A and B are shown apart, each in its own frame.
Chain A
Amino acid sequence: MAGNILITFALMASVFSIIMYYLTYKGNTNTLKFARIGYHATAISVIAASAFLLHAILTHQYQFNYVFNYSNSDLSTGMLMSTFWAGQEGSFMLWLLLTSISGLVLLEYTSKRGDLEERVMMIFTLAVAFLIVMVSPGLKNPFAFIWSDPTFIDVKNINQSFLSLPFLQEFMFSDQSTGQSLIKMNEQLVALLATKGISVDQFIVFGKGLNPLLNNFWMQIHPPMLFIGFSMATVPFAFAFAALIKNEYTDWVKQSLPWLLAGMMILGLAIMLGGYWAYNILGWGGYWGWDPVENSSLVPWIVGVAGIHTLLIQKKTQSDGSAGRFVKTNLILSIMTYLLVLYSTFLTRSGILGEASVHSFVAPGMMVYTLLIFFIGTFTLLGFGAIIYRWKYLEKTFTAEENVLSKELGIFTGAVALIASAIIIVSGTSAPIFGTAVELSFYNELALPIAIIMGILNGLSLLLRWKKTPEKSLLESLKIPTIISVIVTALIVFIGGINDFMAILFTLSAVFMLTVNIDVARKIIKGKKLFIGAYIAHVGIALFMLGVIATGWFSLEKQVKLEEGVTQNILGYDLTFNGFTPINNGQKYKFNIAVEKDGSSDVVSPVMYISSFNNSLMRDPDLLNKFTRDLYVSPVSYEEGSRNGTNNSAGTKVTIEKGKSTKFNNSVIKFTKFNFPADAMAAMQSGEDFFIGAQLEIEYNGKKYVSEPKMESRAGERSYVGTQITDANLNIEMLNLDASGKVELSLSQIDQADTEAAQEVSLASLWIEVSVKPFIILVWIGTLTMVLGFFISIIRRTKEANK
């Protein structure tokens, strides 16, 4: 209850704050104080509600549907905390929490800058209010009780000492297909439990747990980072809107820049952390898969980064009260960045992409769907409505021409290329809305030429001067970087053996970008050190591109079978499978593979296990990081060795129905009936040892024989016991039995089985997928370098914004 009271209070406080800010904007002087109180009350309530949810998770209060569905008592504290955002309700809550906190900082920041506060906070608080509605009761509410919608709970999650309660029988159901016993949790049961003085969190003692795919270290970092990025993307929208309503376009640029930079730094890092997670742990085999979820967070980033560039031009070209160039572009891009965040949320949460993504989405219901559309609709109307309203003025006041050879035009064209790539990705990702989709080659083929253009444009823009560049001086400054780039590219092409034309062009573009940026950075470092940020970020991007070339064109991949103890040379590595070791109390198995190359030896240990969460085989890859290349090993399957040689390999497989017979090598084998001992049924259910036999009648040379192969279960392990009829030279192995009245047998001749047994001592073997990814480390180094560059720029632009 406390959670929902806090949410409701937060909503009321936010609406109050919006109204008070609006009145302040309209000229009232005594309302600002109330507006601030309202916002602080909103933020504090949201923080308290989040703390309440976190507390419920940490103390395992399974009476909350959300806590029951996503967490379990066996998780470590760190992972337990990350279940906060493991589900849709919680991730909306996280987004709301981070937006509210950003708002506190934003309020502080804007309150020192004249009338900026009411204009910015009015719209920002509206965004907060929408998110509060999203987590309200009836929508994506994380505080819903487990019984508010009757839920079926597996008996194993219940405190066993309560199972004897007499009224519980009425709520017991069994699932025919899986044989699970379930308890229907509804208000009636809650009331009955209450009469016995039992609370629901005493009654339910285990949760469903965290999806094993999410249960790892990066789950604690990647989603919060992404949502910080999303939250901060709200700010440029608010600044642009504030500028539009005041019809004053000079100051917002320097005020908005640090926010946009910080938001895009964090969003960019979050996206690549997701890539790192996918590569290292999820076993996607790569860092990028053009998955709709990845795409939909990439698009706002691209548009935001384009906006950073055009905002910089505007700031640079401002002088004596003029607003600078690209006013319209900057307003539109700042607004679009946030709208694309909302659109991304809509795509990934509305269930529309259901069939297109690795992430499994479920339609969240009509209410949430409508709310999402209403959310996007409102902000689109506000943003573009304001632009259309001011368009005449903007058109008249801010129309300028750029010289062909100017830095302004160079950067602008680069920004257009970025926007073109954003349009392409949005189109491809949105295709499922229209009942179609695109192959991955759609993205790859389009992204490549754009990346080439951007690398070259970036290098070129840095060599161009502001306003106008004399042709001669451009040619002069181009000379050295071009010569260096061509030589370096030629070396890379020659050494790496690149023979694809586009790859060569891409290499040239990346090297050119790298050369020019290093050159500029080298000159700047002697002077104003804080001015170096942009160039470092560009160096990062260039390194990233080189990493993409290396992994994209030169990765090798092979699926192989490793027999235990036998060394094989795979893609230049000597691999030896040395058996497996159980880890995590025998819940998982680590498969040890010795790797030798050029005298150095290592061990890679991919892991396979059956997850109790979803009853399926999970495979965790392992990799060997070396600077020049990664060896990536993902497990496929494991076959146990057979020492006795009769492992059904030699036999003829037959399936016989009850009462029917089959012929094999002059014998007629008839399956008469199952031998199903009376106590077997009970033993089976209680998990004790039991056996079931299949009674067979064999006719050979006019004689009849009776034989009974068995299926035995000892300590939960099933095994089959075969039989032999020496006179008939018949070896019978049982492979499977089907309670509906069928047995599956493997029949062979004894003398042959013996000889084959001698030869067929097979070794345990492990199937693995091996890939070698050269210089993938450049992707990670590039990302981190880029983040560093962003960080330096943020410091610089924050200082400038404080002037």
Chain B
Amino acid sequence: MNNKYIFGGIIIVVFLGIMGYLFTQTNIKYEEDFSKIVESSGTIKATGEWVKEKNYNIDNSKNIFSFYMKDFNGTELKVVYSGAIPNNFESSTSVVVTGKYQNGEFHASDILTKCPSKYETQYEIKETNS
């Protein structure tokens, strides 16, 4: 057997093995339907919109930022995040939170705000004749 296949093969096999294992361990499920999040226990990436009417709350002393998010059905979800409010949260078109659902709240470890930015040019607006 060729030495390079043995050495190369070992590295590839070992790391692909570890990768496969870690893949299942660190797997994040996408969920856009918030009613399903309530039932799940794993790490979830949820996409929705910030409920502007309910504002957001910043507890600086505990370093907690919380807000309400709603999905396409309008189902609301309270999101709690340990950390500062992300840049341009207010102007976000949609919010992607990663975390786990516990005790009636979604504990986010990461918040992405998607803003009309460099790769977006569409200016969406309903046509309403004035």
Contact = CB atoms under 8 A, between A and B. Distances in A.
Interface of A: 65, 69-70, 86-88, 151-152, 172-176, 182, 211, 213-214, 283, 349, 354-362, 401-404, 409, 412-413, 416-417, 419-421, 423-424, 427-428, 431-432, 435-439, 441-442, 445-446, 449-450, 453, 559, 561, 611, 614-619, 634, 636-637, 767, 769
Interface string B63-86: 100000000000000000001110
A441 B98 CA distance: 13
B117 A211 contact: yes
Nearest to B90: A616
8 contacts: A172-B130, A283-B87, A359-B117, A420-B16, A441-B22, A559-B84, A615-B90, A617-B88
A404 B23 CA distance: 33
Given A359-B119, A559-B60, A614-B116, 14 more contacts: A88-B118, A152-B123, A152-B125, A173-B130, A213-B87, A359-B117, A428-B23, A432-B30, A442-B26, A446-B15, A561-B60, A561-B61, A615-B91, A616-B115
Interface in B15-37: 15-16, 18-19, 22-23, 25-30
Contact of B7 (A174, A416, A428): A416
A87 B118 contact: yes
Contacts of A617: 85, 87-90
A427 B119 contact: no
A637 B116 contact: no
Nearest to B61: A561
B128 A176 contact: yes
Contacts, number: 176
B89 A616 contact: yes
B11 A417 contact: yes
B51 interface: no
Contacts of B18: 446, 449
A748 B95 CA distance: 38
A401 B117 contact: no
Given A211-B118, A437-B45, A616-B89, A442 B23 contact: yes
Nearest to A181: B130
Nearest to A428: B23
Nearest to A176: B128
Interface in B36-60: 43, 45, 47, 58, 60
Contacts of B2: 401-402
Given A173-B130, A176-B128, A211-B117, A412 B7 contact: yes
Nearest to B116: A614
Nearest to A439: B26
Given A86-B118, A420-B12, A420-B16, A446 B22 contact: yes
B27 A409 contact: no
Contacts of B118: 70, 86-88, 211, 214, 359-360
Given A87-B119, A416-B8, A416-B11, A175 B125 contact: yes
Nearest to B9: A416
B103 interface: no
Given A355-B45, A362-B120, A435-B30, A618 B16 contact: no
B56 to A, nearest CB: 12
A468 to B, nearest CB: 12
A409 B19 CA distance: 24
Most buried by A among B43, B45, B47, B61: B45
Interface of B: 2-4, 7-8, 11-12, 15-16, 18-19, 22-23, 25-30, 43, 45, 47, 58, 60-61, 63, 83-85, 87-93, 96, 98, 112, 114-123, 125-130
A149 B28 CA distance: 38
Most buried by A among B7, B84, B96, B119: B119
Contact of B91 (A355, A453, A616, A636): A616
A69 B120 CA distance: 9
A360 B121 contact: no
A218 to B, nearest CB: 14
B119 A361 contact: yes
A69 B2 CA distance: 58
Nearest to A89: B121
Given A358-B112, A362-B122, A438 B26 contact: yes
Q: DSSP class of B's interface residues: helix, strand, loop or mixed?
A: loop
Contacts of A404: 3
B19 A427 contact: yes
Given A413-B11, A559-B63, A436 B27 contact: yes
A280 to B, nearest CB: 15
Contact of B3 (A402, A417, A421, A446): A402
Contacts of B47: 355
5 tightest A-B CB contacts, nearest first: A616-B91, A439-B26, A616-B88, A416-B8, A614-B91
A785 to B, nearest CB: 27
B130 A614 contact: no
A436 B30 contact: yes
B128 A360 contact: no
A424 B19 contact: yes
A360 B92 CA distance: 10
Contact of A401 (B3, B29, B91): B3
A1 B25 CA distance: 54
A767 B60 contact: yes
A413 B8 contact: yes
Most buried by B among A360, A401, A404, A445: A360
B4 A88 contact: no
Contacts of B90: 615-617
Given A211-B117, A359-B118, A403 B3 contact: yes
Contacts of A409: 3-4, 7
Given A360-B116, A636-B84, A65 B121 contact: yes
B88 A413 contact: no
A220 to B, nearest CB: 15
Nearest to B46: A355
B28 A360 contact: no
B27 A637 contact: no
A789 B22 CA distance: 35
Contacts of B28: 436-439
B123 A174 contact: no
Nearest to A445: B22
A626 B73 CA distance: 52
B117 A213 contact: yes
B31 to A, nearest CB: 10
Contact of B84 (A437, A449, A615, A769): A769
Nearest to A765: B60
B130 A446 contact: no
B4 A402 contact: yes
Contacts of A442: 22-23, 25-26
Contacts of B84: 559, 634, 636-637, 767, 769
